[in-house]
Structure formats: C-alpha cells, structure tokens
Amino acid sequence: MRVSAIKEKTACFTGHRKIPTLAKRRIAKRLEETVSEAINSGYRYFGCGGALGFDTLAAQTVLRLREANPEIRLILVLPCMDQTRGWDERDIEGYERIKQAADKVTYTAEKYYNGCMQKRNRHLVDYSSLCICYLTEQNGGTAYTVNYARDHGLKVINTAI
C-alpha cells in the first residue's frame, strides 16, 4: 500500500498531560465518540505518542475499541527509549501495558534530548490525515502540534470543545 493511502487512513492524537478531574469523563466520552466516527469513516491506524494524560487516554480508547474493531491498529510513536524516567511506578506499569498491547512501537530517538518530543509530534502529524486533540491552552507542545497539523492540511478535531 502506498504511503499516501496509509496516511489517508491514519489519525494521530495530541493533548495535554493534565486533564481536570471534573472534565475527564466528558473528554473520555467525546474521545470514544470521535475515534468511533473515525473508524466508521475508514480510519484504521491510530498514532499515539505515549505521554501521560491525553495520550494514555487515547491509547486506552483505541485498545478498547479494537476489541469490537479488530481491523484497527494502535501505533505508538515514542520520543525516546527513556521516556518514563521520572514517572511514578503506577504510570510506568500502565505505559508498559499499553506498549505490550500496541500493534507497533517505534522510537524517534534512542535517548532523550531537547527537541525529541517535538520530533515525535511532527512524525505523528507527518504520517496522518486527521489529528484528534485535547487542546485548552494556546501555548506548549499540544498547541504547537495542533498548529503544525493545521499548517500541513490535517483535519483537526478538538475533544475539549
């Protein structure tokens, strides 16, 4: 299959690491509806960056929906092999469960360096035609990635709205 054909069937996720407790249930419901609509529209590949917060919620959503839609794939695009340094044990355990369940895991760098997160985010966007995000702030990594996606012609759906 051509890269452009795969890109047309690929969605990526980007979002904040912190989701307010009171909003989490609403965001999770909106995310599940959005991913289900994407699947119904022909999306088969879902790229996720493996960060805490929205990335974790997105990966869990894809894995849950994969049970009823075995044709979809979770692709983890991770910034570096030591991404979890400084994380607490519970978060690392969840991350490892997601990695084990993913259909593909790729790293954009071996070790952390200043800029590896942006490289990961650009990779996710460069191989997608849809960006599903949780964006509430107009600065930081999520805002950068959403702007990059818009600049590169991706359809953007914000689950925060």
Domain ranges for the chain, please list them: 3-158
* Pairwise CA distance, residues 50 & 35, whole Å: 17
**Token pair belonging to 82:** 């030591």
CATH 3.40.50.450, applies to 3-158: yes
pLDDT of residue 4: 83
Contact 35, 157 (CB under 8 A): no
Per-residue pLDDT tens, the chain, 161 aa: give them: 676 889 999 999 999 999 999 999 999 999 999 999 999 999 999 999 999 999 999 999 999 999 999 999 999 999 999 999 999 999 999 999 999 999 999 999 999 999 999 999 999 999 999 999 999 999 999 999 999 999 999 999 999 99
Please say whether the dihedral angle defined by the alpha carbons of residues 55, 83, 136 and 121, taken in this order, is positive or negative: negative
**Token pair belonging to 145:** 């990635």
Q: What is the pLDDT of residues 115-142, one digit of tens each?
A: 999 999 999 999 999 999 999 999 999 9
